[in-house]
């Protein structure tokens, strides 16, 4: 795993298709997702961004009418191979959702729950240290260090979202998926999460869905534009925003539809 090579492919998606029953929601998408980079997925509502994102950690397996073909290769192994256990995939590929969704547990337990369950740490000092490290890395430690036993739900929305990020990184994932992680947050919390993402990409591969074009332009290294289940254009973020090659991309980023 070469961290120096700025173009190491971490997740290699090839000819990915997904159907919800008869609805062909993801059309033949191939895209390299680079290690230690942020890739943004943009496009109008219903174009398949969340569906595509959920394919990257097999979350769609939970939906009975879904049929998927194609491959999602992470470190040379297709996560859809029969011998791959989807629980282990979801541990390696963490997810943060639009609405902050802490467990109805204390701040401490929100972070400690999964590492204890996966036997990453034992109760006690090692667990305390992991909780502190995860909360620090999520930029939340200073705000919660004196009230770790308070319920996670007692925090503000922006703090809850950082708690969810701490919970995600506590299991030491390699990839973090974020589906509109700031759309329910105020501008200050949004700024904090954006700054945090720029820190986190040093350690992780991040894929984010956003409706906020400025956000994609500010933080993403690469951007993919989706429309009607197809990936219309994918490139370095600057190219997508300054000099897109497809008319539909241009229309979307200039606000002509969507
Ligand atoms: N659980 C589901 N069961 C059946 N169809 C679904 C399901 N989730 C999404 N779809 C369909 O798949 C298509 C893509 O939806 P998806 O939620 O991926 O879009 P999106 O780009 O994330 O939209 P938004 O920006 O509004 O979140 C839509 O036609 C939607 O109706
Ligand atoms: Mg969505």
Give the pLDDT means over successive 10-residue stretches in the chain (258 positions).
67 98 98 98 97 97 94 96 94 94 97 95 97 95 98 96 96 96 90 94 97 96 98 98 96 86
In a domain, 152, yes or no: yes
Give the distance (Å) from ligand 1 centre to CA of residue 16: 16
Residues at Cβ < 5 Å from ligand 2 ion: 50
DSSP assignment, residue 69?
Answer: E
Q: Which residue from 21, 25, 44 has its CB within 8 A of the most atoms of ligand 1, so it is best to mutate?
A: 25
Tokens encoding 213: 């074009």
Which ligand places an atom closest to the C-alpha of 45?
1
Residue 29 exposed, middle or buried by CB count within 10 Å (0-12, 13-18, 19+)? buried
* Beta sheet of 77-78, edge-to-edge order: 23-34, 9-20, 66-74, 77-78
In a domain, 162, yes or no: yes
In a domain, 35, yes or no: no
* Residue 55 Cβ contacting ligand 1 at under 6 Å: no
Residue minimizing CA distance to atom 7 of ligand 1 = 20
In a domain, 54, yes or no: no
In a domain, 163, yes or no: yes
Mean pLDDT of the chain: 95
In a domain, 224, yes or no: no
Torsions phi, psi for 193 (to 5 deg): -65, -40
SS3 127: helix
In a domain, 131, yes or no: yes
Give the distance (Å) from ligand 1 centre to CA of residue 118: 31
pTM of this structure: 0.94
Give the number of domains in the chain: 1
Exposure class string for 85-105: b at 16+ Cβ within 10 A, else e: eeeebbbebbbbebebebbee
Domain that holds residue 126: 103-172
In a domain, 115, yes or no: yes
* Residue 21 Cβ contacting ligand 1 at under 6 Å: no
């Amino acid at each position: 795993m070469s961290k120096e090579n700025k173009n190491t492919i971490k997740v290699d998606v090839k000819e990915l298709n997904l159907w919800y029953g008869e609805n062909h929601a993801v059309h033949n998408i191939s895209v390299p997702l680079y290690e230690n980079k942020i890739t943004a997925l943009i496009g109008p509502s219903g174009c398949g961004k969340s569906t595509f994102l959920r394919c990257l950690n097999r979350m769609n397996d939970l939906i009975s009418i879904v049929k998927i073909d194609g491959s999602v290769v992470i470190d040379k192994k297709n996560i859809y191979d029969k011998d791959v256990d989807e629980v282990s995939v979801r541990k390696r590929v963490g997810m943060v959702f639009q609405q902050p969704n802490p467990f109805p547990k204390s701040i401490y337990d929100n972070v400690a729950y999964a590492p204890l369950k996966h036997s990453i740490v034992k109760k006690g000092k090692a667990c305390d240290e992991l909780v502190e490290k995860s909360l620090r890395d999520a930029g939340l430690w200073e705000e919660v260090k004196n009230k770790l036993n308070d319920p996670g739900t007692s925090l503000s929305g922006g703090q809850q979202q950082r708690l969810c990020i701490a919970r995600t990184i506590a299991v030491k994932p390699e990839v973090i998926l974020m589906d509109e992680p700031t759309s329910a947050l105020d501008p200050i919390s949004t700024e904090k999460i954006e700054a945090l993402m720029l820190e986190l990409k040093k350690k992780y591969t991040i894929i984010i869905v956003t409706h906020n074009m400025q956000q994609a332009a500010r933080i993403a290294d690469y951007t993919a534009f989706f429309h009607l289940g197809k990936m219309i254009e994918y490139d370095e973020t600057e190219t997508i925003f300054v000099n897109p090659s497809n008319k539909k991309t241009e229309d979307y980023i200039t606000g002509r539809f969507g």
